[in-house]
Chains A and B, each alone.
Chain A
């Protein structure tokens, strides 16, 4: 096959190697733990700062006092509308979407063992996109609140299709068929979407705005629609951590370590789907986060998923919020969509990270 088979040490040699590792690496281990705690603490601080900035800054330039008034519902109705109708939903949705996409991307790259895999690889983005376009084309649905449900439905259906194809194709849903089936289904759905938007200009108009990814004009009802999916996805992701580390050694070794490979895949893919579907429905397909954040997380804390999972969540959340704040400020009256800001600023930063760091490959 195309992927390089993982080196499979004979089982007899493994315990011996582990003993020597444990004795010599104890000191190293302790400093590594301290560093990891520092990294996570720093990320939490950054996230809080960015969230505060997201509450305070926006295209309506209002001071801290007015934001607080709005928050306490003691000020004018304008302040209240800005804070409760725009700033709070955006901050919450942005953080949730960023964390969900970061974690979904980490799981996706872990399961496919492919650095090019993003959460959209399962057809989640393309399925949601086709459903949104059909919603406009067939039913004339354009409001954000209603679009969410179309996107959710499309994302879930598409990922079930991808997963069925993969299991039909490889039994245990091994990495390469998974990536290929996902890419094939995504491309097919994307082609159908193109077909519709090239036929109908109203659909194109709605689609081009949706597809870049934006947090604008989202109310709290959007979060109300997607949070059960995000929470369920997060639970599955956390449950999947141990199995994912084992699967990183290759399916055979994971089996030897007592993992049920098919169950582990099901849990992981379920988690990816729920997280990515929820995030995509809320803010459109922001592919950049899921694709790049896991690489940043691995550069910060290594490959173990117990650490990369929270780090991916924190980095993703901070990144999306930061990009959204920047987008609000640079555009003047017409703000720049978060997906565009993320990629335009995040792309070069990511390139710099990829150049500087000694890379931790999958």
Chain B
């Protein structure tokens, strides 16, 4: 990947250092549009709540021009929730695009590396065992769940990767190992749920759907740091992802260090997903649907990473907004992301009949 800037014949492009990007107008405009949608949704998400705050004041507070009671509500109560939602969507969307691309399987969500199952065991155990055996204060519990989820996610992912390793990791073997490990962990979660007191089972079920109701600045920071580090690296691997899709032999022939590339992609997906799940629980369906929608909107042969991330952010923000505005009790955001995302994907599938029938 060195040497003078070489342009693919017939397609304009830009090149910054080792990273080259082809000019794809559809990807570009959809990315710009979804970025705009995310910004609008952030402002709306902060404006709408038990009291309405005019968007003008919201924008002024966000840039630090406003002080007073409204600014307090905005910066301490609503902004962390909205930021968490946006970051959860961004990280899940990009993680989903990464795993779907490298497994070459639209069902290959980050779940297959065991992240979600591991996080669920950790969190459900913290809720059920913590709340059942000892009387843990809600403060300890709210600090404990993200930590338990993160530990569970990382251990599970390491186990899947380690067991999938046989002189290198091959995506098919990794998928199968992931199925086995996830099934075992999910069964442990089920066991905990079935044996738990019904009130604790309800709390655990709520977490398992994905919810933004207990977010604060302490959930924003870890997520923000992970996103700031991992998202740029993920975007930089985009070209290698395209090569990796050609199959191991071709990719090696073209000069890609296949195993190193695969480890990097898996590590990125794991870290991004674990951060999101620790902050808000496994928010339903985002990592699966958003890359598929991005791919169909942009007309590319694999999910565009940044577009998937921004669509994810927009989806989670919109879902959170709906759950706060449209229901008498706060429906967990994971339910709404699915209720919005699934019909949209179905509609896209029907509309794209001609392209799909090949």
Contact = CB atoms under 8 A, between A and B. Distances in A.
Interface in B243-281: none
B288 A187 contact: yes
A266 B305 CA distance: 36
Nearest to B172: A361
A344 B187 contact: yes
Interface in B301-340: 301-302, 331-332, 334-336, 338-339
B17 to A, nearest CB: 30
A355 B177 contact: yes
A340 B183 CA distance: 9
Interface of A is mostly: helix
A306 interface: no
A115 B104 contact: no
B284 interface: yes
Nearest to A179: B107
A359 B187 contact: no
A208 B107 contact: no
Q: How many B residues are at the interface, by size bracket?
A: 35 or more
A191 B311 CA distance: 20
Contacts, number: 193
Interface footprint category on A: 35 or more
B163 interface: yes
A351 B350 contact: no
A194 B106 contact: no
B205 interface: yes
Contacts of A188: 338-339, 342-343
A291 B183 contact: yes
Contact of B356 (A1, A184, A342): A1
A354 B180 contact: yes
A169 interface: yes
Contact of B335 (A114, A191, A211, A342): A191
A354 B346 contact: no
Interface stretch (B44-52, B193-201, B220-228): B193-201
Contact of B202 (A1, A201, A346): A201
Interface string B86-105: 00000000000000100011
B176 A295 contact: yes
A9 interface: no
A191 B341 CA distance: 11
Contact of B186 (A205, A343, A348): A343
A171 B350 CA distance: 10
Contacts of B161: none
B191 A340 contact: yes
Interface string B154-192: 000000000110100000110111011111111110110
A346 B183 contact: yes
Contacts of A198: 202, 205-206, 209, 331-332, 335
A116 B188 CA distance: 21
Contact of B342 (A3, A187, A350): A187
A177 B107 contact: no
B180 A180 contact: no
B235 to A, nearest CB: 20
Contacts of A191: 209, 284-285, 334-336, 338-339, 342
A73 to B, nearest CB: 35
A184 B334 CA distance: 14
A174 interface: yes
A209 interface: yes
B14 to A, nearest CB: 26
Contacts of A346: 180, 183-184
Interface of A: 1-4, 114-117, 165-166, 168-172, 174, 176-177, 179-181, 183-185, 187-188, 190-192, 194-195, 197-198, 201, 204-205, 208-209, 211-212, 287-288, 291-292, 295, 336-337, 339-344, 346-351, 354-355, 359, 361
20 contacts: A114-B107, A116-B107, A169-B349, A174-B356, A187-B285, A188-B338, A191-B339, A194-B209, A194-B334, A194-B335, A195-B331, A201-B202, A204-B198, A204-B201, A204-B205, A212-B191, A337-B194, A341-B187, A343-B186, A351-B176
Given A179-B107, A194-B335, A292-B180, 9 more contacts: A1-B356, A2-B106, A176-B106, A181-B346, A190-B284, A191-B209, A195-B331, A347-B181, A361-B172
Closest 10 CB pairs of A and B: A347-B184, A343-B187, A191-B338, A354-B176, A351-B180, A169-B349, A188-B342, A350-B180, A184-B342, A343-B183
